[in-house]
Amino acid sequence: MASRVLVSCPSRFLFLMLSLLVSCFAVAFAGNFQRDVQITWGDGRGKILDNGNLLALSLDQFSGSGFQSKNEFLYGKVEAQIKLVPGNSAGTVTTFYLKSPGSTWDEIDFEFLGNLSGHPYTLHTNVYTQGKGDKEQQFHLWFDPTADFHTYSITWNPQRIIFTVDGIPIREFKNFESIGVPFPKNQPMRLYASLWEADEWATRGGLVKTDWSHAPFTASYRNYNENGCVWSNGRSSCPANSPGSRPGGAWFSQELDFRGKNRVKWVQRRYMVYNYCTDKKRFPQGAPRECNMS
């Protein structure tokens, strides 16, 4: 795994300013946790607060906690502002992801792998189709994700999956079924989020264990927003058309323009710490087919 690479001060300053400007517009018409989600496990460790505007998950040595959206979607855009576990969070995993049920599930992941105080969080992304993943990319963020809330978004449409942080795209996974690469398109998915303990692998491959003297660990979510084609009674129903867009709204046909592609390249060049496409130990016969497509 590559070490973290910092950018020069002027370039870093400009990027941070861009991030702040974009984040001001990243969340619109936020949903309400009381209306849109349900806490599914944790025996009271997950709490909906502030009239449904805030949701806190906690983890101690006995249990973590989690919630899920009440709706299932076949394509959609989900986002939330998340403030991660501060301090020594080694061994903890905070998640925000889409997943279908069953043994051959589809899944689109944001996972935040905790670390020792002063070390960077690892943002882990992955895409599963019919129960098979192995498409991991990991990043160190350009800010402290424990000091304040930041916006994390997944856009899933028939042609691509886009991961964004504070409105800045960090990864695009395209539909390359034409060359035999599976793409999640047939199974409706629900939004899930959780805080749990995985110290056998989460921090430096399991070398750093959870220090329970810092428990309970807490991660907070706010400004949750879902906009998708809701699955019900065996069919999906998309929201009304937005002006100039396809059914479902602008996200349904969203793609990265030249500027967006350059932002992805910029983030990946400076902050990516693992890319399955370049892992020769896992893929000695060559990178998976989609890695060689533009």
**DSSP at 142:** S
Q: Please identify which residue in the block is written with the tokens 């061994």.
A: 91
Residue 155 in tokens: 């856009």
255 flagged as catalytic: no
Residue 91: C-alpha distances to residues 61, 176, 197 (Å)? 11, 35, 6
111 flagged as catalytic: yes
Catalytic residue among 72, 79, 111, 197: 111
Question: What does the alpha-carbon distance between residue 42 and residue 171 come to, in Å, rounded to a whole number?
Answer: 31
Question: What does the alpha-carbon distance between residue 27 and residue 114 come to, in Å, rounded to a whole number?
Answer: 25
Catalytic residue among 72, 107, 197, 226: 107
Alpha helices in the chain (DSSP H): 9-23, 33-36, 258-271
Residue 8: C-alpha distances to residues 11, 135, 162, 270 (Å)? 5, 30, 27, 10
Q: Is the peptide bond before 288 cis (omega within 30 degrees of 0)?
A: no
The residues that are catalytic are 107, 111
